[in-house]
Amino acid sequence: MGQASFDLRVWDAVSLIPFGQLATYGQIAELIGAYGCARQVGWALRRLPLPSAVPWHRVVNAKGKISMSLSREGSDWMQREMLITEGIPVDLEGVLQLQQHHWRPKLSEGQCLELAPQGASSGRFRSAQDAH
């Protein structure tokens, strides 16, 4: 599987996160069948061309924080503002209420999302609830 295919699978999975809800990098990795690849999910989101309809800002770390870093060139602060706009409180250190806003898709045990077959995106870049 190439980097482009992995990125498309990540972007498609992230596109399913509903308005006002959050997922973790590890959760997205598991949803696409890439167990243990949370860091790679983060890099795939960094490669996402901005502006984008993919709700990348809804993905946070497992500690319930925005991953704040100078290397993000301000996108961490942009993420904070976008989450606040969706009604998710975030403090100045990037801490948020993950448990209250955690997205839990209904999947059977052991099932992963079949998204973006190699070489093509499924075209799902907005969840139904994003049509606010």
Q: Which residue has the higher pLDDT, 1 or 105?
A: 105
Locate the DSSP E strands across 22-110.
Answer: 23-24, 59-60
Lowest mean pLDDT among 16-25, 35-44, 52-61, 109-118: 109-118
Q: Which two tokens stand for residue 87?
A: 């009604």
* Residue 30 confidence (pLDDT): 95
Confidence of residue 56 (pLDDT cuts 50, 70, 90): very high
For domain 3-104, the CATH architecture is: Orthogonal Bundle (1.10)
- Residue pair 23/17 in contact (Cβ under 8 Å)? The answer is yes
* Residue 49 confidence (pLDDT): 86
Task: Report the predicted TM-score, pTM, of the whole model to 2 decimal places.
Answer: 0.79
Percent of the chain with pLDDT over 90: 57
* Residue 124 confidence (pLDDT): 46
Residue 11, Cα to own-chain centre: how many angstroms?
7
Domain definitions of the chain by residue range: 3-104
Q: Which two tokens stand for residue 35?
A: 């167990």
Q: How many CB atoms lie within 10 A of CB 59?
A: 26
Residue 128, pLDDT > 90, answer no
| Mean pLDDT, residues 2-31 | 93
Q: Interhelix angle for 38-46 vs 3-14, to 10°?
A: 90
* Residue 117 confidence (pLDDT): 47
| Mean pLDDT, residues 47-57 | 91
